[in-house]
Amino acid sequence: MPKQKKRKLGRGVAIVGGAMSYFGMYPDKTSRDLMAEAYTDALETVDKGIDPRDIEALYIGNFTADLFEGQGHLGHIMADWLGLAPRPATRVEGACASSGLAFREAVMAVASGMYDVVLAGGVERMTNAPTENVQDYLAAASDVPFEVDQAAFTFPGLYAAMGTAYMARYGTTREHLMHVAVKNHQNGALNPRAQFNSSLRDIMEQRKKRAEEKGRPIPTWGDEFDFLSDDSVNPAVAEPLHLFDCSPVTDGASCIIVAAEEVAREYTDDLVTVAASAQASAGPFTTWGGDITGIPSARIAGRDAYEMAGVGPEDIDFAEVHDCFTTAEIMAIEDLGFFEPGKGAFGSAEGLTSRDSDRPINVSGGLKSKGHPVGATGVAQLQEVWTQLRGRAGDRQITHKDLRLGLTHNVGGTGGTSAIHILERK
């Protein structure tokens, strides 16, 4: 890994407000409608209130409204619709890391001294497109002439191929992956804004009940693992990944308001600041030197984030990681240094990432259960960590330990882009 010089923000930056829209399937809502929901809810979360006219600029993460709804040039659409034109509005694109990058741009714009208060948002409208088209549009985030035109990869396929390399090297099975799905759905069941607001156990029982009501034979699944092993309800998408290994197709938006630390107390006395903001790039996984069992850009961004915050993985109290697929969460917790390479799958199966563990992973439900409107995901992760650090997460609040440092891990493509942030409660 290339050595980077140690970086720091020009001045302190705090989060003073944030919200996500309800994530799910909303055929009647365009991206601007979703964004307006997240924004108006975010304004309500500012403890001492905020005059929207205090917001000086917008950074909007979006992968491809161009393909999903034929709408490009999204920055000015959002500035206008939120009533904030003529303030400068910039769309930021980094595939599924788009709003992680938008947040980072907002933080740097404030840290530079240019602005005191900036909005970072993210949005994606996805469910109106047919499944095959969704695969095509998401595949635009890969290396198209080689991964798509030559090899006919889909996005689940890319993470599946990485999964097989991992499974072959470390001797893990599909059952290890299932533990990630079971855990994240349990977490999502506590999140009222999650797309899948139910545990896999509940989904299984509902299917049994429906079969009974319709007079069909009642399935004999004993537990979630039985359910997930049944290809008739959990069909293959890209082996070894099945339906419940994949994050869903989702409509949703997210919004955060950041402010210079020196003005932030005008908005709240309950300060959460940005301890680190790091980002790294990489080529497609054929350029990674032969090892595709982890994501190099996430390791590099993680290392840079720890260095910037002056902490190590052992200091992180909880994290929201980019579990677009179950294989991705296992690689994430290793790339971030929470587990040794090859130990993440076993640790997940042992419950070491569950909400009552020493370092809970994806208490929001993760992308897997909360939903993954790709351009909205990065800011939604940050909003969850901010909410948890302030003790305001309701039923899903982590209560068994004090929270001081939370981390977000947001990945675009198969790690072409990684954005990692560490937030600190003051």
Binding test (CB under 8 A) with other proteins, winner from 85, 129, 165, 203: 165
Evaluate whether 250 touches 124 at the Cβ level (below 8 Å). yes
Cβ atoms of 301 and 7 within 8 Å: the answer is: no
Q: Where does this chain touch other proteins (CB under 8 A) — which range of 26-34, 47-55, 160-168, 404-412?
A: 160-168
185 in active site = no
- Candidates 336, 349, 354, 313; CA nearest to 410 is 336
**From CA 23, how far away is CA 316, in angstroms rounded?**
27
The count of other CB atoms within 10 Å of the CB of residue 124 is 30
Contact characters 245-284, other proteins, x per CB under 8 A: ---------------------------------------x
- The piece of 118-126, 128-136, 269-277, 312-320 that touches other proteins (CB under 8 A) is 128-136
Please list every residue from 169 through 188 that binds other proteins, using CB under 8 A: 169
Say if CB 252 and CB 123 are below 8 A apart: yes
Which one of 36, 74, 102, 162 is in contact with other proteins (CB under 8 A)?
162
> How open is the CA angle 249-255-260, to the nearest 5 degrees?
150
Q: Is 372 noted as a catalytic residue in this protein?
A: yes
Q: Is 68 in the site for other proteins (CB under 8 A)?
A: no
Q: Which stretch binds other proteins (CB under 8 A): 17-25, 67-75, 234-242, 263-271?
A: 234-242
Q: How many CB atoms within 10 Å of residue 89?
A: 22
Nearest distance in Å: CB 52, other proteins: 42
Nearest to 82 by CA among 23, 116, 33, 19: 33
Residue 405 lies near other proteins (rule: CB under 8 A) = no
Q: Which of 146, 206, 262, 315 binds other proteins (CB under 8 A)?
A: 146
For other proteins, which residue of 286, 340, 394, 399 counts as binding (CB under 8 A)?
286
CA–CA separation, 74 vs 83, rounded Å? 14
Q: Shortest distance, CB of residue 180 to other proteins, whole angstroms?
A: 17
Q: Under a CB-based contact definition with an 8 Å cutoff, are residues 158 and 237 in contact?
A: no
Q: Using the rule CB under 8 A, is 145 a contact of other proteins?
A: yes
Binding region for other proteins (CB under 8 A) out of 8-16, 158-166, 316-324, 359-367: 158-166
Q: Smallest distance from the beta carbon of 221 to other proteins, in angstroms?
A: 22
Q: Does residue 336 interact with other proteins by CB under 8 A?
A: no
* Token couple for 399: 């209560």
Exactly one of 322, 372, 409, 421 is catalytic; which is it? Answer: 372
Q: Answer yes or no whether residue 238 interacts with other proteins by CB under 8 A.
A: yes
* DSSP label of 419: E
When the beta carbons of 80 and 239 are compared against other proteins, the nearer one is: 239
Alpha carbon distance 360, 318 (integer Å): 5
Going by the DSSP 8-state scheme, the letter that residue 158 receives in this structure is: H
Q: Smallest gap, in angstroms, from Cβ of residue 164 to other proteins?
A: 4
Could you tell me the end-to-end alpha-carbon distance of the chain, in angstroms, rounded to an integer? 32
- We find the least distance from the C-beta atom of residue 158 to other proteins, in angstroms, to be 8
Residue 106 near residue 17 (C-beta atoms within 8 A):
no
Task: Tell me if 94 contacts other proteins by CB under 8 A.
Answer: no
Interface residue with other proteins among 156, 188, 360, 378 (CB under 8 A) is: 156
Question: What CA–CA distance (Å, rounded) separates 298 from 279?
Answer: 8
133 makes contact with other proteins (CB under 8 A): yes
Q: Where are the beta strands (DSSP E) in 87-208?
A: 89-92, 117-124
Q: Which helix (H) or strand (E) element contains residue 424?
A: strand 417-425
Q: Select the residue interacting with other proteins from 139, 200, 295, 393 (CB under 8 A).
A: 139
Q: Which residues are catalytic?
A: 96, 372
Chain positions contacting other proteins, by CB under 8 A = 131-133, 135-136, 139, 145-154, 156-157, 160-165, 167-169, 235-241, 284-286, 290, 292
